[in-house]
Amino acid sequence: MHIYIHIQGVGSGVGMVVVPVYLGEIAPPTLRGTLGTFTQFAIVIGKDLVWL
């Protein structure tokens, strides 16, 4: 069970770094801040919902 928690942590860590960079590159300038913020918010809310 502990290995799965570590795998989830690594996956979340990679997602927190890669996704905002990718979105920053492809998004129009007017949406960059919003998309970057929403990405982090969605990750945190998703992890919280898993533990309910």
The pLDDT of residue 52 = 83
Does residue 1 surpass a pLDDT of 80? no
* Domain locations along the chain: 2-50
Does residue 12 surpass a pLDDT of 90? no
The pLDDT of residue 10 = 92
Q: What is the mean pLDDT of residues 6-22?
A: 88
The pLDDT of residue 16 = 84
Confirm whether pTM is higher than 0.85. Answer: no
**Length reported for the chain:** 52
Nearest to 25 by CA among 36, 15, 38, 16: 36
The pLDDT of residue 5 = 87
How many CA atoms within 13 Å lie on the side-chain side of 40? 8
